[in-house]
Structure 1
Amino acid sequence: MRVFVTGASGWIGSATVDELLASGHEVLGLVRSDAAAAALIAKGAQAHRGDLDDLFSLRKGAAETDGVVHLANKHDWANPAESDRAERAAVEAMLDALAGTDRPFVIANALSGIVEGRSVVETDPSPAIGPGSDRGGSENLALEAAVRRVRSAVVRFAPSVHGRGDWGFVTFLADAARKHGVSGYIGVGSTAWSAVHRTDAASLIRLAIERAPAGSRLHAVAEESLTTKAIAEALGEALNLPVTSIDPADAAEHFGVVAHFFATTMTAESAITRKLLGWKPTGPGLIEDIMSGAYTN
């Protein structure tokens, strides 16, 4: 299968490219720079120049391949409305190119905001509907394309997709610990996150592009619930720093942009995903990754 991957040089995208190539697939990766193109070509993939605002390029990449893995996002924290607008327009463009083909379209989403008070399960629909909603309602937009003969599936990622070289949430927490000389958690540290190793997330994406049924919701979750206090304690031990509670009123100053997420429980189950696709996570857990030194440099 020849697969078009947006976000091909990103944290999850680069691991997905490796996984697809190792499994015998060809990859056409969306890139914005010469350096990213060179890195893709060195792996044995092909580079496709463009970005999320270049809708012609996105349609062309989707039309010329056997399926799409859409992982790119602007992640413009200062202007989320712009990120949402760009996401919806990009998804619409690629779905238009795939309509009527029965080709797969795998799209990324987060677990946050889907339900409150319990772990998210795969049967929970996203409440984000329409252009003005989170991520432009792209999850529902993609899943609805099943009636247009697109084999669409969504992969919802745990808040921590971890591993050596991670630049996500846990890296922000480690940076805050180094900056302030303490590894902190908010309040009593009872909020919790799910987690998945980067290589396990990539293997799930490959399985999804290969055989996920149209309309599937899949959860890239290996560990369902780790308390934020346990994460802070592991970081403290790995960084040789004391561990302390941070007053919720001081969380934004201490943790920066990640404070809101660290104060929010974001957990999910993945039993349906595992049974549907035979996905078996094998990578290290988040605490093990932290203790092995993945976040000490």
Structure 2
Amino acid sequence: MRVFVTGATGWIGSAAVDDLLEAGHEVAGLARSEAAEASLRAKGAKALRGDLDDLDSLRRGATEADAVVHLANKHDWANPAESDRAERAAVETLAEALAGSDRPFLVANGLSDLALDRPALETDPSPAVGPGARRGGTENLALDYVNRGVRSVIVRFAPTVHGAGDWGFVNFLMSAARKHGVSGYIGDGSHAWSAVHRSDAARLIRLGIERAPAGSRLHAVAEEAISTRTIAEAIGSALGIPAVSVAREEAGPHFGFVGRFFGLTMSASSERTRELLGWAPTGPTLLDDLIAGAYGKAAAR
């Protein structure tokens, strides 16, 4: 297939591009800069210059592709409303370009909308509906296009997609630990996160566009629930510093923006995903990566 990928040089997207190419697919990635374009071409992928606000480039990429993988997001933590606006406009543009074609359209989402008192299931609908919702309500927007001839597939990613070079949530937790000299967890640390290795997430993306039926919700989750205290203790062990409780009211100053997520339970089952696609995670666990130094070893004391 000819696959158009947004976020193609990002943390997850770059691994997904590698996996797609290795499987024999042709890839065109959205590139915001000359450096991104050069990186894609060096891998053997094509590059389409543009960004999430360049709706003409998005439309062109989708029109020329057999499948679309949408992973890009502005992630503007200082202005989430702008990120949500851009996300909804991008998903709507891509879906309109695919309408009536029955081509696969894979859209990324996270588990933060499904902070339940149990592990989230693939059958649990996202409560985020409409332009004013988190991420612009794009999970439900994409699924609405199933009735318009689009093979929409949602992939909900664990809050940590980990591995060497990760610049996501765990990297920010490591930075906070280095800054304060302690590895913090909020309250009693009983909140839990799911986790998945980057290589396993990339493979799931490919399987999703190859095999998943229209309307599928997939969970990129290898480990269902790791307590935040366990994560903090592993970070502390890697850095040679103690793990301590941080009061909820101090989470913002201590952790920065990631504190709003570290105090949530974001766990999910992937049993249905594994059965549907034959997906079996094989990458290292989050604790394996932390212990092995994927996020850096002990800081200077």
Same fold (TM over 0.5): yes
Distance 1:200 1:183 in 2: 27
Moved over 4 A (4+): none
Distance 1:158 1:243 in 2: 23
Kindly state the Cα deviation for residue 71 of structure 1 after the two structures are TM-superposed: 0.2
Distance 1:70 1:287 in 2: 29
Kindly state the Cα deviation for residue 251 of structure 1 after the two structures are TM-superposed: 1.4
- Show structure 2 runs of 5+ residues with no match: none
**Aligned: 1:80 with 2:80:** yes
TM-score, normalised to structure 2, is 0.97
User: Residue 193 of structure 1 aligns to which amino acid in structure 2?
Assistant: W
Distance 2:134 2:185 in 1: 27
Give the equivalent residue in structure 1 for 2:240.
240
**Aligned: 1:50 with 2:50:** yes
Give the equivalent residue in structure 1 for 2:71.
71
Give the equivalent residue in structure 2 for 1:137.
137
Between the aligned residues of both structures, percent identity stands at 69
Give the equivalent residue in structure 1 for 2:222.
222
User: Residue 18 of structure 2 aligns to which amino acid in structure 1?
Assistant: D
User: Residue 66 of structure 1 aligns to which amino acid in structure 2?
Assistant: D
User: Residue 65 of structure 1 aligns to which amino acid in structure 2?
Assistant: A
Task: Note the alpha carbon deviations across 1:230-274, whole angstroms, 9 max, x for none.
Answer: 001111111111221112222111111111101111000000000
Give the equivalent residue in structure 2 for 1:162.
162
1:265 is paired with a residue of what secondary structure?
A: coil
Task: Note the alpha carbon deviations across 1:195-254, whole angstroms, 9 max, x for none.
Answer: 000000000000001111000000000000000110011111111112211122221111
2:156 is paired with a residue of what secondary structure?
A: strand
Kindly state the Cα deviation for residue 116 of structure 1 after the two structures are TM-superposed: 2.1
Give the equivalent residue in structure 2 for 1:204.
204
* 8 Å CA contact retained: 2:88, 2:136: yes
Distance 2:79 2:256 in 1: 16
Give the equivalent residue in structure 2 for 1:106.
106
Question: How large is the Cα RMSD of the aligned pairs?
Answer: 0.8
Task: Note the alpha carbon deviations across 1:158-185, whole angstroms, 9 max, x for none.
Answer: 0000000000000001001111111111
Distance 1:204 1:271 in 2: 13
Distance 1:3 1:210 in 2: 11
2:140 is paired with a residue of what secondary structure?
A: helix
- Show structure 1 runs of 5+ residues with no match: none
TM-score, normalised to structure 1, is 0.99
Distance 2:49 2:210 in 1: 25
User: Residue 209 of structure 1 aligns to which amino acid in structure 2?
Assistant: I
Distance 2:98 2:116 in 1: 34
Give the equivalent residue in structure 2 for 1:281.
281
**Aligned: 1:123 with 2:133:** no
Kindly state the Cα deviation for residue 149 of structure 1 after the two structures are TM-superposed: 0.9
Q: Which segment is superposed worse, 61-70 or 248-257? A: 248-257
Kindly state the Cα deviation for residue 114 of structure 1 after the two structures are TM-superposed: 2.4
Distance 2:57 2:292 in 1: 41
**Aligned: 1:267 with 2:267:** yes
* 8 Å CA contact retained: 2:115, 2:266: no
User: Residue 51 of structure 1 aligns to which amino acid in structure 2?
Assistant: D
* 8 Å CA contact retained: 2:6, 2:72: yes
